[in-house]
Amino acid sequence: MTAKWIETLTGSLDEKKQYKAATARIAALPEPYASVANALQRYFLYSGAVVDGDRLVAMVTDHADLWERAAIDGASVRDIIGDDPVEFAENFVIAYSTRQWIDKERARLTRAVAEAEARASGDARS
């Protein structure tokens, strides 16, 4: 009962455990993979592009998988991210984005412009 109440306020406890496990996997990576993976993860979170808990957990888990595989294979960081780390990060996040925090404001802006145009064209007819 208490866990259900807490989850109502904070979100899924299972998702939090999965997120922490993936984060621990990233922290356990050898260098330079750990530093790069942590920097990318920070960017992912600050970009605010993934707002669903289950999608965020999937993204972070896949991110940990990617860097663990790179470490096992001995791939260079640039082999994984290419020349532009920002482009890599944004493309990685896009794959997990279903809706974004800004979507509501985009819709509101579009609606405001349409309403202003409708009022203006109504005033022009008078």
pLDDT (tens digit per residue) in 105-123: 889 999 999 999 999 987 6
If one compares 27 and 50, the residue with the highest pLDDT of the two is: 27
Domain region containing 52 = 2-100
CB 53 within 8 A of CB 22: no
If one compares 126 and 92, the residue with the highest pLDDT of the two is: 92
Other CB atoms within a 10 A radius of the CB of residue 44 amount to 20
Q: Give me the pLDDT at residue 9, please.
A: 52
In a domain, 60, yes or no: yes
In a domain, 63, yes or no: yes
In a domain, 110, yes or no: no
Q: What's this model's pTM, rounded to 2 decimal places? A: 0.70
Rounded-to-10 torsion of CA 62, 102, 39, 64: -10
Q: Output the average pLDDT for the chain.
A: 86
Q: How far apart are CA 84 and CA 62, in angstroms?
A: 20
Task: Please state the length of the chain.
Answer: 126
In a domain, 72, yes or no: yes
Amino acid at 120: A
If one compares 14 and 20, the residue with the highest pLDDT of the two is: 20
CB-based burial label for 50 (10 Å; 0-12, 13-18, 19+): buried
In a domain, 35, yes or no: yes
What's the number of domains the chain is made of?
1
In a domain, 117, yes or no: no
In a domain, 105, yes or no: no
Residues 6+ apart with CB under 8 A from 86: 43
Backbone angles phi, psi at 107, to 5 degrees: -65, -40
CB 26 within 8 A of CB 70: no
In a domain, 38, yes or no: yes
Look at residue 57 and tell me whether its pLDDT is greater than 60.
yes
Domain containing 46 — which CATH number?
A: 1.10.1900
